[in-house]
A and B are shown apart, each in its own frame.
Chain A
């Protein structure tokens, strides 16, 4: 089936540094999402993105977070600066359109020390 790729699979970073998580969505998909999952807890919505714009974001999407997809390349989540509570697995997902299946990547495990 369609594949969403996330790079890297694991990132270790010192608190206060910047990190960029990369997502290569399914090629013909138009809607992109980031979800956060703390170890052992439920998956929580962060943000969705369409046509170059953030459509909706949750309270978890702090001011230190930003997303972009320059020129149809990777869909990125940047955190600057990072905090200890940002440690989690971040899942990227994409969808071709409304009412369609969300396809998830394997996730990036972010460890903030």
Chain B
């Protein structure tokens, strides 16, 4: 079946260091991937999503590349900021109404 795996529950980083949050998926059909970010006491918001033409989506310094060969859509940023501290969800849509969310990775950026 369709599934999303986020292996890290908590990632703690010092400000200025690079960020990489892992996301792998299993998909029955052609996958469409999303990253959502949820700050404390707020609703999840779209951070970025994969393109059908293999362009690399970017937003607020974050980027992710869909690699179908390895079934991955890892989230990266070159330099972490304190304001990046949040819960990050990777999500999969397989072309219908169904969205499968990963367990989420909590990113904690410290000074």
Contact = CB atoms under 8 A, between A and B. Distances in A.
Interface residues of B, number: 23
Given A99-B93, A101-B34, A106 B103 contact: no
A3 B93 CA distance: 21
Interface in B24-65: 32, 34, 36, 38, 42-46, 49
B105 to A, nearest CB: 10
A43 B98 contact: no
Interface residues of A, number: 20
Contacts, number: 48
A102 interface: yes
Interface of A: 31, 33, 42-43, 45, 48, 50, 55-56, 91, 95, 98-99, 101-107
